[in-house]
Structure 1
Amino acid sequence: MNQFIFALKTLGLFTVTAIAEIAGCYLPYLWLRKGGSVFLLLPAALSLMIFVYLLTLHPAASGRVYAAYGGIYVSVAVLWLWQVDGIMPDRWDMIGSLISLTGMAVILLAPRAS
């Protein structure tokens, strides 16, 4: 049960971290490519600062943790595509997200020697 609770907390932290990272990169994109206001850079910078702070809360700063985070990042990016960009993910987006989440679960939940 402890591993399940750890996994849920980690999943939530990864999701919030991914949102902060994507928002921090998306807002400058709107400014540079879509003619948005230069003032979009202020919330972008704040979002990236939050992202960096959230990285310090992850269970460990290791390749394994960041690899697991990558699975969540891919899925959140596909949801962002749908919810923010208004582009409905196709089956390949969904399959790719499921593969990423499966890989994340294997990395995060694999039994390891303490």
Structure 2
Amino acid sequence: MIPFIKTIVFFILAGLCEIGGGYLVWLWLKEEKSIWYGIIGAIILTLYGYVMTLQTASFGKAYVVYGGIFIVMALLWAWKIDNFKPDKYDLIGTAIIIVGIAIILFIPRK
């Protein structure tokens, strides 16, 4: 069970770094916040690259799975931080993505 938890924690941490860092850069460039938002955002985005290397899966598989996790986390971020209201189709799509992630990551291969 520990490897499963470790994998999920690293994916969530990577998502927070990518979305959070990107959000800070967005605030700097699009909403004219201080350059420090951009600098901190860039540092966090660099940290995202490091966190992804902590995965035990191969590069390709880790990024395929992370793509799905990123979509789920981005929807949650938009809902909680950006006041986006997901509708039933957003939720159905997210459920399909979660099933896809589970199949790719956890179904045993021969």
TM-score by length of 1: 0.86
CA positional deviation for 1:17: 0.4
Which of 39, 58, 61 is matched with 2:58 structurally?
61
The percentage of aligned residue pairs carrying the same residue is 38
CA positional deviation for 1:18: 0.6
Matched-pair contact (CA < 8 Å) for 1:22–1:77: yes
Matched-pair contact (CA < 8 Å) for 1:31–1:38: yes
Q: Tell me what 1:11 maps to.
A: 8
TM-score by length of 2: 0.89
Q: Tell me what 1:110 maps to.
A: 107
RMSD between superposed Cα atoms in Å: 1.5
CA positional deviation for 1:92: 1.9
Moved more, 92-101 or 16-25: 92-101
> What SS does the aligned partner of 2:53 have?
helix
> What SS does the aligned partner of 1:88 have?
coil
> What SS does the aligned partner of 1:66 have?
helix
In the TM superposition, what whole-angstrom CA distance separates every residue of 1:56-102 from its partner, at most 9, and x where no partner exists? Answer: 10113332221111121111101100111122222222122111111
Q: Tell me what 1:50 maps to.
A: 47
CA positional deviation for 1:13: 1.0
Q: Runs (4+) of structure 1 moved beyond 4 Å?
A: none
| Structure 1 alignment gaps of length 5 or more | none
| Structure 2 alignment gaps of length 5 or more | none
In the TM superposition, what whole-angstrom CA distance separates every residue of 1:25-61 from its partner, at most 9, and x where no partner exists? Answer: 1111112222222221121012112101101101133
